[in-house]
Amino acid sequence: MNYKHLYYFWHVAASGHLTQTAQKLHVSQSALSSQIKQLEDWFGMALFERRGRQLVLTQAGHIAKQHADRIFAEGESLVKQLKEGASDQPAIIRIGHASTMSRNFVEAFINDLVSQKEVHYRLHSMTPDQLFNELANHQIDIALANTNVRGSDKQLWQSRLLARQPVSLIGPPGRAITELNSPALVKQHWVLPPENLSLRLAFDMLSAEYNWQPIVLAEADDMAMLRLLTRDTGALAVIPDVVVRDELNSGQLSRYLQLPNVYEQFYAITLKRPFQHPMVVQLLQQFSL
């Protein structure tokens, strides 16, 4: 059996007539009949029974047609996807995001997908190394990260800056903090990112400039964990507003000061391809800096 045998059978099964199908496919009726006979011989059973001038599917023919319908639907989808960059199949988009990223930002990124019932999306939280390995192996369609990455001859990444979120001094309400040189900041308890992150470097520079003497209670590279620690320990934190959006709205935490020239940056990273997943294109169109 080969693809052509099944293809001819599929068309005859749809029309029920050899002559009409032969004309449509631009082959002789005898050649078409021969192909159907070879397929029946290969299966060892009849796929059609003749009723007058019409060919009617046998039980085996119905089973074969059901499989052929799926096979050729997938074939058409393949052609549309590779040649036209489109598909009539339900869209599935796989989004990877760094485990250190703000979940609120990730939620905002996929907001357009939430209302599209015909679109299925899968979210995968992982380390940066896992993120880029999954992307390179085509296991995800797009990666979201809060650190930039540059492509090379071997790894053809495309990195796009999606947003720059201001970073603020956040803490429990009721503190007498109105400016960076406020006496209330000289000796405070803090929860901070680790020293290898740019956000911590910015904090250390401010701390030196204003002679703060921070008491570091905890360090975490996960924004969600920093949010929880800030909320539950009573310590201060330097953190993007988007991370603690819900706590700010509810009054659990207060935003005291926006740090000058300090931002958390969010990137979308994709592989360089002749075409992109249509949903990736749609999502990226939301962001223009």
Q: Mind listing the pLDDT tens digit for each residue in 18-50?
A: 889 999 989 999 999 999 999 999 999 999 998
Identify how many contiguous H helices and E strands the chain contains and give both numbers.
Answer: 11, 10
The reply to whether 236 and 271 lie within a common domain is no
Q: Which domain holds residue 177?
A: 165-263
Compute the distance between CA of residue 208 and CA of residue 203 in angstroms, rounded to an integer.
9
Q: Of 81-90, 218-227, 245-254, where does mean pLDDT reach its minimum?
A: 81-90
pLDDT (average), residues 14-19? 90
The reply to whether 101 and 244 lie within a common domain is no
Chain centroid to CA 54: 50
In this structure, the dihedral spanned by the alpha carbons of residues 116, 122, 128 and 129, taken in order and rounded to 10 degrees, is -140
pLDDT above 70 for 187? yes
Compute the distance between CA of residue 209 and CA of residue 193 in angstroms, rounded to an integer.
19
- The tokens of 82 are what? 């590779």
Q: Give the residue among 161, 148, 146 at the shortest CA–CA distance from 242.
A: 146
Output the pLDDT for position 139.
83
- Which of 68, 84, 100 corresponds to the end of one domain? 84
Residue 267 pLDDT grade (very low, low, confident, very high; cuts 50, 70, 90): very high
Compute the distance between CA of residue 239 and CA of residue 106 in angstroms, rounded to an integer.
16
Look at the chain and report how many structural domains it folds into.
3
The reply to whether 237 and 104 lie within a common domain is no
- Secondary structure class of 274 (helix, strand, coil): coil
pLDDT above 80 for 188? yes
The reply to whether 157 and 272 lie within a common domain is yes
- The tokens of 168 are what? 């603020």
145-182 b/e (C-beta count within 10 Å ≥ 16 → b) = bbeebeeeeeeebeeeebbebebbbbbbeebebeeeeb
The reply to whether 138 and 272 lie within a common domain is yes
Q: For residue 289, is it within any domain?
A: no
Provide, for the chain, the percentages of residues in helix, strand and coil under a 3-state DSSP scheme, each rounded to the nearest 5: 45, 25, 30
- Which of 66, 84, 102 corresponds to the end of one domain? 84
- Which of 53, 84, 115 corresponds to the end of one domain? 84
Output the pLDDT for position 90.
53
User: Whole-model pTM?
Assistant: 0.62
Any idea what the CATH number is for the domain that residue 65 is in? 1.10.10.10
Residue 271 pLDDT grade (very low, low, confident, very high; cuts 50, 70, 90): confident
Residue 70's Cβ-count burial label (10 Å; 0-12, 13-18, 19+) is: exposed
Compute the distance between CA of residue 278 and CA of residue 167 in angstroms, rounded to an integer.
33
| Alpha-carbon dihedral sign for residues 171, 173, 175, 178 | positive
Q: Which residue has the higher pLDDT, 235 or 280?
A: 235
Per the DSSP assignment, residues forming a β-bridge with 269 are: 143, 159
The reply to whether 279 and 207 lie within a common domain is no
Compute the distance between CA of residue 202 and CA of residue 238 in angstroms, rounded to an integer.
9
Residue 134 pLDDT grade (very low, low, confident, very high; cuts 50, 70, 90): confident
The reply to whether 259 and 180 lie within a common domain is yes
Output the pLDDT for position 169.
95
Compute the distance between CA of residue 258 and CA of residue 282 in angstroms, rounded to an integer.
32
The reply to whether 144 and 227 lie within a common domain is no
Output the pLDDT for position 104.
85
The reply to whether 247 and 173 lie within a common domain is yes
Output the pLDDT for position 250.
94
The reply to whether 174 and 124 lie within a common domain is no
Q: Of 38-42, 146-150, 241-245, 271-275, where does mean pLDDT reach its minimum?
A: 271-275
Compute the distance between CA of residue 197 and CA of residue 216 in angstroms, rounded to an integer.
15
The reply to whether 257 and 227 lie within a common domain is yes
Residue 275 pLDDT grade (very low, low, confident, very high; cuts 50, 70, 90): low
Any idea what the CATH number is for the domain that residue 181 is in? 3.40.190.10
pLDDT (average), residues 239-253? 91
Q: Of 77-86, 189-198, 207-216, 276-285, where does mean pLDDT reach its minimum?
A: 77-86
- In the block, tokens 């997943």 appear at 277
The reply to whether 54 and 117 lie within a common domain is no
- The tokens of 263 are what? 């931002």
Mean pLDDT, the chain, rounded, equals 86
pLDDT (average), residues 201-213? 93
- In the block, tokens 């904090």 appear at 203
pLDDT (average), residues 137-144? 87
